[in-house]
Chain A
Amino acid sequence: MTQVSICTAVIVDDHAPVTIHELAQCCEQQIEWVMTLVEHGVLPTLRQTERPEGWVFASAAVARARQVSRLQRDFEVNLDAAALMADLMQEVRSLKLQLRGF
């Protein structure tokens, strides 16, 4: 059975940022875990209200949160170590990008 449907995508950052619930779900974590990441400065918010229900996140934060979650799960490391690994990987990626160009 094949269904065809047409839909228009919206860019997450511009029009439809990710909520804290969506972010927690896509990382297979509880929202308290997301809150800890934000409180520790590991994860930037696009908009931070007093109540966490109003917090929204950009694409880059989603990718980072998923990576930190994977690293914590797969290597059984604590949050600080996972955040450090994510930072170093980001640096490696940007250096590789520079290297590839020139």
Chain B
Amino acid sequence: MEFKDYYKILEVPRDASQDDIRKAYRKLARKYHPDVSKEADAEARMRDVNEANDVLRDVEKRAAYDGLAAGVSGPNGASPGAGWDRGFEFSGAPGDGPNQAEFQDFMAGLFKQAEHQRRTQGSGQGFDSGQGRARALRGEDHHADIEISLEDSFSGVTRDLGLRSVQLDAQGQPQLVNRTLSVKIPAGVKAGQMIRLAGQGMPGEGGGANGDLFLTVHFAAHPLYQADGRDLSMKLPVTPWEAALGGQVHAPTLAGAVEVNIAAGSKQGGKLRLRGKGLPGDPPGDLYLVLDIVWPPATSEATRAAYEQLAKAAAFNPRAHLGVSA
């Protein structure tokens, strides 16, 4: 873990006032908020911005961070500011300057502790799941995102997920554990939908059940289809004569090509619905074909002659409603 300069992240000087920090945070939140930002790495940036803001806007945390940062940057790992290590376990020998990983663990530990206290205090009010009464604590749920293709959703898929989690070893020290989870994703899953992997979250404490892992499904952009829930839509190119005269054309679906009837007199943008040809489910989605009339280029003598003939035969002015002549 690298040392994070929270002041640099918030783009403020070290002696910035609380008001300046608040303003800087607001500005960056608008820029990097994953719900509104167009920046590619918005989510990671926002995480850093939030982390920096959590520390710097709190006077006590900021003071602890400043003391610690002075220790980190000091010569020969000079000891951090007095009193910064109250109330938490420090994994290094007493008096040693903190290394960067420990520093991050310290901050994470500090906040985790505050969070735990908040929850413990809160659990006495209203109702709770029994956490306050029993020693057994259910592990925390984890949330992650997964990107699959429309084809994966259509037929179901097994995907290997590489997960990295922190677990405590026999000595109670946090260890990074890599694990691979082979996940069978059911057919018919929709974008935005969550899937639950029971027991794959954080381990429970004192005999409590493991938390669950929730994956939010996203679809990779598909070259042909757009998904809206279980419905799919696709542009279907047709010739002017297929649209004008009607006829049967072939269209691809996720289950293979099908033959569809184009009604005579079909217009650009007209929609055909193929019932049940979308993503599977109960009920299955539909596939919408949106007609896209494509004109052949007038590059040969024969096509030029055909266009000229059409011009004469149709006597058609598409700008009549604009009040101008052809």
Q: Which residues of A contact B (CB under 8 A)?
A: 1-13, 16, 18, 21-22, 25-26, 28, 30-32, 52-53, 59-60, 62-63, 67, 70-71, 74-75, 85-86, 89, 97, 100-102
CB of B170, distance to nearest CB on chain A (Å): 13
Could you say which of B63-71, B189-197, B317-325 contacts chain A? B189-197
B179 with A4: CB separation less than 8 A: yes
Q: How far is the CB of A82 from chain B (nearest CB, A)?
A: 10
- Shortest C-beta distance, A41 to chain B (Å), equals 20
B249 at the interface (CB under 8 A from A): no
The closest CB in chain B to the CB of A22 belongs to B141
| A-B Cβ contacts below 8 A, count | 120
B182 and A9 contacting across the interface, CB-CB below 8 Å = no
The answer to whether B178 touches A12 (Cβ under 8 A) is no
A3–B179 CB distance below 8 A: yes
> Which of B10-18, B29-37, B79-87, B100-108 lies at the interface with chain A?
B29-37
Please measure, in the bound complex, the distance between the C-alpha atom of A9 and the C-alpha atom of B36, giving whole angstroms: 30
Cross-chain contact B183 with A9 (CB below 8 angstroms): yes
Residue numbers in B under 8 Å from A70 (CB-CB)? 33-35
Chain A residues lying within 8 Å of B33, measured Cβ to Cβ, are 70-71, 74-75
Q: B227: nearest residue on chain A (CB-CB)?
A: A97
Q: State the CA gap A40–B263 with chains docked (Å).
A: 48
Q: Is the CB of B129 within 8 A of A3?
A: no
Q: Which residues of A contact B183 (CB under 8 A)?
A: 6-9
Chain B 178-189 per-residue mask, 1 if CB under 8 angstroms from chain A, else 0: 111111111011
Residues of chain A contacted by B34 (CB below 8 angstroms): 70
Q: Does B214 contact A (CB under 8 A)?
A: yes
Provide a sorted-by-A list of 18 A–B residue pairs whose CB atoms are within 8 angstroms: A3-B180, A5-B182, A7-B198, A9-B183, A9-B184, A9-B186, A9-B197, A10-B198, A21-B129, A22-B212, A26-B214, A31-B127, A31-B128, A59-B193, A63-B216, A74-B50, A97-B228, A102-B290
Complex Cα distance, B183 from A12, in Å, reads 15
Q: In the bound complex, what is the Cα–Cα distance between A59 and B146 (angstroms)?
A: 14
**Looking at chain B's contact residues, is the secondary structure mostly helix, strand, loop, or mixed?**
mixed
Question: Do A59 and B129 touch across chains, with their CB atoms under 8 A apart?
Answer: no
Which residues of B from 188 to 222 have beta carbons under 8 Å from A?
Answer: 188-189, 192-200, 212, 214-216
Q: Which residues of B contact A8 (CB under 8 A)?
A: 183-184, 186
* Cβ B35 vs Cβ A71 within 8 A: yes
Q: Which of A11, A25, A67 has the most CB of B within 10 A?
A: A11
